[in-house]
Amino acid sequence: MIGDEILIAALVYVIACLGLAFFQQKQTAKLKAKVDALTVLVKESDRQREAVKRELQELRSGTIGVGKRMLELEKKTSRQDARLDEANQQDPQAKLYTRAMKMVDLGAGVDELINECEIPRAEAELLIRLHGKG
């Protein structure tokens, strides 16, 4: 009798151990599957991060190029403005007509142009027709 009970207890113990081992094996497989999935996600995340990093570097390089180009254009514009100012200062007649055009933009009439800019009536009328607002 005691031998049968020990045998039954040992059998129950072995079955319980086998059940626990089987359960642990299933849990280990589930955890391994989760780890594998996370590994794939991490690798994809790293790949995307590298792609974004490359794109950002390209954007930075492009921005630097645009900035340099803008500086060049600003320098050219400044030089051209200086040349125009110099040309206007060297030609007093051009200064008169520039002033006359500004006066026309402000609404000056023929007589006012004749008196202020000392230009002939025909030229004053022509300026008003060409540059006048009406």
Residues 6+ apart with CB under 8 A from 109: 128
CA–CA separation, 119 vs 93, rounded Å? Answer: 10
82 in a structural domain: no
128 in a structural domain: yes
103 in a structural domain: yes
Tokens 């000392």 found at: 118
Q: What is the dihedral angle through the alpha carbons of 97, 102, 105, 110, rounded to the nearest 10 degrees?
A: -50
In DSSP notation, 68-111 reads: HHHHHHHHHHHHHHHHHHHHHHH-HHHHHHHHHHHHHHTT--HH
105 in a structural domain: yes
What is the torsional sign of CA 62, 66, 67, 68?
A: positive
67 in a structural domain: no
pLDDT at 92: 64
Which tens digits make up the pLDDT trace of 21-64?
Answer: 999 999 999 999 999 999 999 999 999 999 999 999 988 888 88
Phi/psi at 60 (nearest 5 deg)?
Answer: -60, -45
pLDDT at 83: 83
Whether this prediction's pTM lies above 0.85 is answered by no
Q: Tally the domains of the chain.
A: 1
Domain boundaries, position 106: 91-133
Decide if pLDDT at 14 tops 80.
yes
65 in a structural domain: no
64 in a structural domain: no
CA–CA separation, 107 vs 133, rounded Å? Answer: 8
Q: How many CA atoms lie within 13 A of 84 on its CB side?
A: 7
